[in-house]
Amino acid sequence: MTTATAPAAASAATARAKAFVAAHKDLATALGRAAGEHVHDPDTIVASLNAGLPSLADPEYLDGMQMVAPGIRPVLGIRQPLLRAVGSGLRAATRGVPASTRLDIATRILRDPIIELHWLAFGILERTVRDEPERTWQLVRAESRAAHEWATVDALAHVAALGILAEPYRWAELEQLVYSPSRWERRLAGSTIATLPFADRVAGRRPEIAVRGLRILGDLMGDSSPDVQKSLAWAIRSLSIVDLPATVAFLRAEARTAGATDDGARAWVVRDSLEKIPESVADELRAVVEGIRRRPNAASTSRAAETAAAFAGLGVEVPPAERPIVDRTAELPDRRSTTT
């Protein structure tokens, strides 16, 4: 009886969600456009969004968000298609506005605590990261330091991925994040690598993406945080699209290490990374890590954790989470753009 009714229940929930979105989509787009009319008054934009967003909230979706992303707060419970519609309206209203002005809007939005407002701001940052990279990265770093749940970190990864593809020296940002005491900053490193092949399906799939990405993931393998482990597995699955042989070689090496050291954290990531790996290879890797399980409260065995501990042992501040961000954009040449 249970197996017969479960699909019907799922279908009913899906139908309800679609109906809710359809009934509110025009309102969402209009809200974004109306808020965007105040393009030179970021305070009024935020006030308009705060006044209108609650009407798009779905209590049922809010319950689901709080269940799958514990700690997410304060959040209204707005379904993603509706939030994208608000963002689309806001983007249409600000088309042709200089990137510096759009960045001012994003900066003001990010001062508001509502999570959905932050996600709207990330949509703006995706458009400013090329034209105003320094100021945009300041906001990315500030958001990563303040993060306290995975959904916001993974949304922020889209901005970081576009920034790295535009300016490859930004890989250094991820190379520093692996040493952070914050698991959310370490997760951002993994989530950004996972996003790169999809942020741009040409530039994000060049061979060097796999080379640099796997090197960073290798520093994080063995991380004790399940939130970080999930981002590592996601990133490995993504990189298998970019360079399957290199990814398989990486997994074989990590599986051998997990088997030799009984490393449950490392073994979990290997097992969760096998979705896009040829079945014969996946079976081989599963056999290597068979029976190796994560243990509660186990310490990280990653190279990054060892390096961070060495820094701390010397009394040296570990970069970059506790390092203050200094806005030096005033010292840079004027790069304002009128492009969208």
3-state secondary structure 25-46: HHHHHHHHHHHHCCCCCHHHHH
Angle value at C-alpha 47, between 43 and 49, nearest 5 degrees: 120
CA 95 to chain centre: 25
Cβ(139)–Cβ(125) below 8 Å: yes
- The tens place of each residue's pLDDT in the chain, 340 residues long, gives 344 445 555 688 899 999 999 999 999 999 999 999 999 999 999 999 999 999 999 999 999 999 999 989 999 999 999 999 999 999 999 899 999 999 999 999 999 999 999 999 999 999 999 999 999 999 999 999 999 999 999 999 999 999 999 999 999 999 999 999 999 999 999 999 999 999 999 999 999 999 999 999 999 999 999 999 999 999 999 999 999 999 999 999 999 999 999 999 999 999 999 999 999 999 999 999 999 999 999 999 999 999 998 877 767 666 544 333 333 333 333 333 333 3
Alpha-carbon distance of 308 to 303, in angstroms, equals 9
Alpha-carbon distance of 72 to 82, in angstroms, equals 19
- Residue pLDDT, tens place only, 44-54: 999 999 999 99
Per domain, the residue ranges of the chain are: 16-128, 169-308
pLDDT score of 184: 97
pLDDT score of 340: 32
And the tokens for 258? 């997990």
Distances (CA, A) of 141 to 86, 104, 122, 177, 326: 25, 16, 12, 10, 11
Backbone angles phi, psi at 297, to 5 degrees: 65, 15
pLDDT score of 302: 98
Name the CA radius of gyration of the chain, rounded: 22
Backbone angles phi, psi at 158, to 5 degrees: -65, -40
CA distance between the termini of the chain: 55
Q: Which fold has domain 169-308?
A: 1.25.40
Predicted TM-score of the model (pTM):
0.88
pLDDT score of 337: 35
